[in-house]
Each structure stands twice: as C-alpha cells, then as structure tokens.
Structure 1
Amino acid sequence: MRKRWLRIVAVPIAFTLVAAACGDDEEGANGTDAATDETTSAGTASEGTASEGTASESTGGGGNADLEGTEVNVFGVESSDEEAGAMQDALNVFAEENGMSITYVGARTFEEEINTQVGGGNPPDIATFPQPGKVADFAASGDVLEIPEAVLSSVSEGWDEDWLSFTNVDGTQYGVPLKSDLKSLVWYSPSAFAEKGYEIPETLDDFFTLNEEMIANGDVPLCVGIESGPATGWPFTDWTEEIILRNEGADYYNQWVTHEVPFNDPPVVEAMTAVADLWSTDGAVYAAGGSIAATPFGDNGQALVDGECLMHRQANFFSAFMPEGTEFGDGDGQINTFYFPSNEGEPILVGGLNAAAFEDRPEVWAVMEYLGSAEFADARQSAQVERKGGGEDVISGFLSANSNADQELYTDLEQGFLEVLNTGEPAAFDASDQMPGEVGAGSFLDEATSLVNGDTDAQAAADTVEESWPD
C-alpha cells in the first residue's frame, strides 16, 4: 500500500539521487517564491531595481574576529517578503555573531540580471542559483570560483555527495547546496475527494484515468498556470520531466539531460504531447488568470481551496501560495498532498538552490560555509515560519536535505516531504536546470509556452529546442 505523507515522523536524510553530473545548465527559475514583479533587499520588498539592504551589523560575540567589519553581498532569485526576508534573517544570525554585514538582494529576474552583472564585470560576492547548469556555465567561463577544501569538508558533513555533485564540474566543486525542493507532489482537498467519491491514484495510468473521470463528471481536475516572468513555461517543463522520468527511467532521463539522447527523441515528444493534450482537453484545467500562460504559477492556491479545481501538481513550496488561514490535513476543507504516481517504483523530481562565489575573500568563504550548514538551515526555517505568522502548524515553504538540520522545526506535513526525499528512488534533479542555460532557461521555456498557447506542436517545439543546443 502506498504511504500517506501527512503525519510521518522525521528521519535522517540519507538517499541516493540519480542525476547527471551538472556539466551543463533553476529552475529555469523554477519558481521558488511568491513575489510578483518585485526585487527584495534585506527582506523588504520594493519594486524596480534593487535598493540598499538593511543587513545586520554587530560587534559580534564569540564569532570570528577576523570577520569583524567585513561586508558580503548575496544575490538570488527568492524575492518575496517571506523568502527573501527569511534569507536575510538567517544571514543576520551569522553577521551578528561575527560583527560583519551581509546583504541579500533577491529578484525574480535573477537569470537575466546575473548574466548582466557578470558580463559587466560587477558580479555579486555570492549568488544563489536555482540552476546547477548555470553554475557550470560560469565555471566554464572562469567566473565562479572553486570551493576551498576546508569549506567543502565542512559542508560535506551535512550534505550527501549526490547533492554536491549537481555543482561539481569535471571533478571540481563550484557550488554549495542550501535549499531542497520536492516537486513530485499533487495538492488536493481530501474532503472534496471523499465527497465526490474519488480515490488517490496509485499509478500514472490511474492519474490520467482520474482526470478523465473528473471531466466526465463535470469536475475540473487541474489548476495550472505557467507564468513566471522571464522563466514563464517552467511548470510545463516540470510536468514533462516527471513523465519522462516515470516512463523511461533514470538512465534515459540523465542521457537526455546531457544530450547523449537528442532533445527531440520520440519519448520526449510523447511526454510533451501527453502534457499538452491533457491541459488542452475541454474541462481539464482551471486557470485563475483566464489562460494557462497568463496565470502566474502560484495564483491557483485560492482556486484549489475554493474547489475551482480538485488537484494541483506542484512542489512543496506551493504552500507559500495558499491563502492565509489554509489548514493542512485530512479534515473538512483542509489541503493535503499525495505523491505524483508512477507505474513502476517511486521516482521523484527534486530541485533546490546552490550558492557559488565570484570573489575570493575570507569573509566570502565564511558565508559560503555557513550557507551549507545545518545552522543556516535551522535559522532559515525558523525565520520563514515567523515571517508567515509563527506557530507550530505553519508550513514555511522551505526544506533542507542537510542531514544535520533539526527536523523538529518542521510540521508533520513537511516532515513527510523530508521522508519522501529520503525514500524516493530514483531521485533526479530538475532536467531543465541542468541543461545549458540557452536551453534550460531559454528555448525549452520558450517552446513550452508556445506549445501551451497552441502556436506550435510538440514535435516542432522539440525540434526547435534540439536545434538550439550548443555545440
């Protein structure tokens, strides 16, 4: 019998991720925050360009005296008050301990801005990348720096080597993991399922059959939105990757990521077609913005709670988009999750953030080491819970697969997510995030959006992406 994920005790994280080593290109931004068109500095949202932060400064106490008076800036994609604010709060803990200043700036347009900053010779000290492949791109150009052995040794105490492998390029480590995302989830209302007589699907075939049953009954099975600024389209790429991983297996998936298998290989086209056909079926999708492409990926949280649709396949961070007051569980009106099923095994799609350094200074490496630590994970989780109102039932939207992090800081639902990260096998990192930037954060997203809009078909879209793959 398939496990339920609501109330599962926390367990140590120690699992094997099956994914190609990143030698090529997040989340195409694969959206990790609830912002709209904002840039956030030091946890305070403001529109337009980044403003000077309000990072904490202190004389320290028990910290590293060599860091006192130093400054470090960090740039990343997380830009909502909750996520960017919690990031700054967690950095402030380290800053206060060491009498230094650390400023975080987050922008939804991170993918574009980091290219501009690096190309213009003005990179941040540290950037937190949703795309391991982008770290590999900057490693190839000589812009990001190799992680010093002492920092890598410290970070390795909490992170499985497979998480580290995502930013290891040809045997050299360039990144430090700091955030983990579980993508193979379907959000739903257990009471709505019970009322209408629906059961959680056990296989992928069952899932598609359930969609057909719901449509036949006049119920809308899915909420879908793919708008995400310059990363518009990534929810479609996630769905496609889920299908490929389940139908073709991890070895094929990894060969596709590294282009040993062409992007337009028939199983890939079949997966893209399956998703596009499902979404375009009359009565299959509710989109809060009026169309799938015009609906921000997080805007359907209210719709799910209101019963406009019955399911939403989205990562653990989707909890950040639920309306205030949403309760999680199996009770009346509550929201829960089930595993996005497979016909064989329990493969999972994962994502996350990795930090990379552009500047070689002691204070930069000290912050890099902190970002990869259990102390950071615990401070970030605690801060994000507080910024969402506090309380033992608050779902933060943040996860860390650091095995030394305090899992008691997470709710039962979140501990269930960590359990799935522990037991899911095989586990594969988001493919588009590992592909070259011009593909994973470029042509794949563009063609996905065109396909959803009906401007192309799956074969033509896959052919265009294949043609864009760099030599």
Structure 2
Amino acid sequence: MSVHNTNKVLAVVISAATLVGMGACGGSSNSSAPNDSAKNSAKCGDYKQYGDLKGKTVTMYASWIDEEGSATDKSFDAFRQCTGANVKFEGSRDLAVQLPVRVKSGSAPDVAVVPQPGLLRSMVKTGKAKPAPDSVVKNVEKYYSKDWKEYGSVDGKLYGVAMDASSKSFIWYSPKKFKEKGYTVPQTWDEMMDLTKKIAKDNKGGNVKPWSVGIEGGSDTGWPATDWLEDAVIRFTDADTYNKWVSHEIPFNDPKILSSFKEIGKILKNNDYVNGGFGDSQSIASTAWQDAGNPLIEGTGYMMHMAPFYQTNFKSADANIKIDPDGDAWVFQMPGKEKGSAPMLGGGDFAFAFSDRPEVKAFLTYLSTPQWANERAKQLGGWVYPNKAMDESLLGSKIDKLSYEALTNPKTEFRFDASDLMPSEVGSGSFWKKMTEYFAQNKSEKETLDAIEASWPKDK
C-alpha cells in the first residue's frame, strides 16, 4: 500500500483547489498552536504525559495526500490542543524518492512515515534516524504484537512504530450474483479452482469470466501482481521458505517459488478465466487496478484479488453500491490448501524520527498509543490499525472490522508484504516491472523469476 502501500490505498487526482488548500508540496499543514478555548474543549487528561510543548514545532513527512493527508492532519488536533505543540504535516506522493534526497541534504523532517520496512532500514543506515525512545518501546511492547515490533526494528533495535496496517489476502465477489447462480464461497484452494472452472464453463464462449485482474498504475504498475505471487508463496510453501525468499537466503527463482508461481499462472494465464470486458490475459498489464472491480458490478466478472481498501473505489464509482455480505460486493479470505488455513499477507506504514528533541519524542510516543489510532479512525474510514487496544467500534465499516479482526486474530498466519521488505531495487523495481512483462510480453514464470533474480543487488 509503499509508495507501494500508499498507492494501494487510493489513486486520486489532485485538483488545483486541493493543491492550494494543502500547500505547494502536495499536501502540507502549517497548523499553529490552538487558542485556550480550543485547548479547554479537548479531553486532555491523557495528554499530560507529554508536557507543555507550547512554542515547539514538530514537522512530519508522509506519503498521504488528499483525503488521507487531510484526515491524518486532523488526527493530530487533540495533541496540538492539549500540548500546545505546532505539528506541521506535509504529504507527498513522491516521498520514496524525495525523503532520501532530503536526508542527504541535511533537511530531514523530524518524523517521517514510510510504507516499506526496506526504506526504513536504508534510512537507519544513513546514521541520521534515531532509535525509538523508551516510551515508544514500552507502548509497542504493550499494544502491538511481536511481529509488528520486529518489522519496525533494525538490527534488533526499535526505530519505527506501525501507524496503520493493511490486510491483503482477500477476494472480492458479488454475493448477489453468487446467490443467483448458486455459487458458494470456497473454503480451500481446490474449491476455489473448482469454482473458477464452473464459472468459466457456465459462461463458455461469452464475455463473462471468473476473474477480473488489473495491474496498471502509472509509475507503480505491477504491484497487484506481486501480491498474487506473495499470496501463492505463503500458501504453497511454508513460513521458513517465505522468510528466506524475502531475505534472499534462497534465490528469487528457487524451485519452490517457481512451483507457487505456476499455481497462480493456472488462473492468470488462462484466457477462459480472466478479464471479461477487458480482453485476454495480456490485457491485465494495461488494465488499471482501479477499474478491475467494475466487472463484478457490471456482471462480466465474479472475483477479484484485492485488499479491502478497494471499497473506496466502489463507493467512488457509485455511492449506491452496497458493500455487505448480502450486497453488491463483499470479500472472502483467499483460502489455503487445507480448510481452515488462510494465511494473511499484509503491510503497514511506519513512523520514525530524525530528531531526538523532547517534543519529537513526545509526538512519536503519541503515535504509538491507542488514543492516536482512535483519533485517526474517527477521521478516516477504509483503514485499520495494528494497535490491539484501539476502540474497534470506531472503524468505519463492516469490512474494516473484518480486516481488523483478521489482522489481530492470534491464529492468523501473518506475513508482511515481501516486496516491501526486499531491497527497493527489487521490491518496487524489478519485481513490479518483470511481473508486468509476464503479462504484457507473455513471459513464462521461469523467465520472470530468473530476470528478477538477476536484478538482485550483489551487496544485499
């Protein structure tokens, strides 16, 4: 959801009015400390721990713009009101490129939010990032699972706190159309393949296909295809293999990875199975991921692999679309090989600091609390949080709650998005590019994996 994770959340055209309202850098706030009446209107008991920060300024740089940027900025209002701090928020869709430039030039923000643990590690290696203060470490140990602490750590030391999370291993479908046709939600991978075959047979020779797939996204083209492969790897191998693949302890083109790739290739390269209304399997490369859900509503497709955040795209297209277990669109978790086995692929955004000034430590501590997660949940639907102590009732929709429950369920076999953990040259580089060529140039699974393996940086 990286530049990767963020673009998985929304693709929004910035209007001139939005740019003017949010600042010349793509989305910034120069909010100043509030007046006394605003301060008195806030419930400030939980904020006394941060002290009096009147006259202090904290800058924050993230990849959230437009609605996400505005809502995130508002989520800091209680902190501003109760501490007197001036939190200046800036959002930019070019953060992955611009943050390293800023750090190198000596103009790093106080706090940055990155969607890739790989980018967090590279920032730590510059020597400019600061380890999380003890107050953040205590909160992370209290409110987050061990996995989230590890993903925010570099060489065993905590730097980043997870601000939000995404659960990606879901399949969108139309409950209404399933009911009309007598189709049932599959409980195993084999059942999902049987359903795929049945839908194709029921619509043989027509323009209706079981699956709708799109991976085009401008400069970020290819990322939805990486999710397909990652979900296959966590289902057809094991945790140890997945972790070794991510860290390159085994090659990218390891036989187990190739075997997993071929499993999804049975769907994605079968023209009887994909892209009714768009074309054949090669059309996947040129079909915008934002449009991939249209066939589910229009009746030319039945299933789409995409994270729950896609609900925003449905609502943007038509506010009357009912997202509900009995409605026009809903999700089921991509099944595993065995019934009851449903590994979860996910991601998240991590906040970390380039300064250890007291006000910066206080602000980062606030971001690690359930109070902040609650404030942002009030402002923005379509997002979930890994903070186990947040108020679940504040989540914006049924599907947000479903996603949150899947992420926080102790039985969930959670794995962080592989492309977000790999070196950026691969994770958001050759991995995206070669998966796109897999469709556009009709490359084989072996050719694709071999090319990505050849691109892996020799020093990483």
TM-score, normalising length from structure 2?
Answer: 0.86
**Further displaced range: 44-53 or 349-358:** 44-53
The residue aligned with 1:108 is: 93
**Aligned partner letter, 1:403:** K
The residue aligned with 2:31 is: 55
Closer, same or farther: CA 198–111 of 1 in aligned 2, 3 Å: same
Residue among 242, 265, 271 paired with 1:253: 242
* 1:334 corresponds to 2:340: no
Displacement of 1:282 after TM fit? 1.7
**Aligned partner letter, 2:255:** P
Closer, same or farther: CA 274–171 of 1 in aligned 2, 3 Å: same
State whether residues 174 and 328 of structure 2, in contact with CA within 8 Å, keep that contact through their aligned partners in structure 1: yes
Distance 2:347 2:272 in 1: 30
Residue among 224, 229, 234 paired with 1:240: 229
Over the residues paired in the alignment, what is the CA RMSD in angstroms? 2.7
Residue among 346, 352, 371 paired with 1:350: 346
**Aligned partner letter, 1:155:** V
* 1:307 corresponds to 2:270: no
State whether residues 29 and 234 of structure 1, in contact with CA within 8 Å, keep that contact through their aligned partners in structure 2: no
Distance 2:137 2:54 in 1: 23
Distance 2:105 2:452 in 1: 28
Deviations 1:146-190 (A, max 9, x none): 111122113332112221110211111110011011111111111
Displacement of 1:427 after TM fit? 1.2
TM-score, normalising length from structure 1?
Answer: 0.84
* 1:72 corresponds to 2:68: no
Report the number of matched residues: 433
Closer, same or farther: CA 355–51 of 1 in aligned 2, 3 Å: closer
The residue aligned with 1:139 is: 124
Closer, same or farther: CA 284–93 of 1 in aligned 2, 3 Å: farther
Displacement of 1:237 after TM fit? 0.7
SS of the residue 1:178 aligns to: strand
**Further displaced range: 208-217 or 58-67:** 58-67
Residue among 175, 179, 194 paired with 1:209: 194
Displacement of 1:397 after TM fit? 1.0
Closer, same or farther: CA 55–317 of 1 in aligned 2, 3 Å: farther
**Further displaced range: 355-364 or 276-285:** 276-285
State whether residues 233 and 257 of structure 2, in contact with CA within 8 Å, keep that contact through their aligned partners in structure 1: yes
Residue among 103, 106, 113 paired with 1:121: 106
**Further displaced range: 230-239 or 97-106:** 97-106
Q: Which has the larger radius of gyration?
A: 2
The residue aligned with 1:7 is: none
**Aligned partner letter, 1:294:** S
**Aligned partner letter, 1:336:** W
Displacement of 1:405 after TM fit? 0.2
Distance 2:359 2:92 in 1: 23
The residue aligned with 1:389 is: none
**Aligned partner letter, 2:261:** M
* 1:293 corresponds to 2:285: yes
Residue among 402, 406, 427 paired with 1:416: 402
Q: Structure 2: 5+ residue runs without aligned partners?
A: none
The residue aligned with 1:6 is: none
Closer, same or farther: CA 94–297 of 1 in aligned 2, 3 Å: farther
SS of the residue 2:284 aligns to: coil
Identity, in percent, stands at 32
Residue among 181, 187, 190 paired with 1:196: 181
**Aligned partner letter, 1:295:** T
SS of the residue 1:380 aligns to: helix
The residue aligned with 1:321 is: 313
Distance 1:260 1:430 in 2: 17
* 1:456 corresponds to 2:443: yes
Q: Structure 1: 5+ residue runs without aligned partners?
A: 1-25, 385-395
State whether residues 145 and 360 of structure 1, in contact with CA within 8 Å, keep that contact through their aligned partners in structure 2: yes
State whether residues 170 and 306 of structure 2, in contact with CA within 8 Å, keep that contact through their aligned partners in structure 1: yes
**Further displaced range: 357-366 or 426-435:** 357-366
State whether residues 22 and 29 of structure 2, in contact with CA within 8 Å, keep that contact through their aligned partners in structure 1: no
State whether residues 223 and 287 of structure 1, in contact with CA within 8 Å, keep that contact through their aligned partners in structure 2: yes
**Aligned partner letter, 1:230:** S
* 1:369 corresponds to 2:369: no
Displacement of 1:49 after TM fit? 4.1
Distance 1:444 1:179 in 2: 24
State whether residues 38 and 45 of structure 1, in contact with CA within 8 Å, keep that contact through their aligned partners in structure 2: no
Displacement of 1:37 after TM fit? 5.3
**Aligned partner letter, 1:176:** V
**Aligned partner letter, 2:200:** I
Distance 1:39 1:177 in 2: 30
Displacement of 1:269 after TM fit? 2.2
SS of the residue 1:337 aligns to: strand
Matches within 5 A, 1:80-99: 80-81=66-67, 83-99=68-84
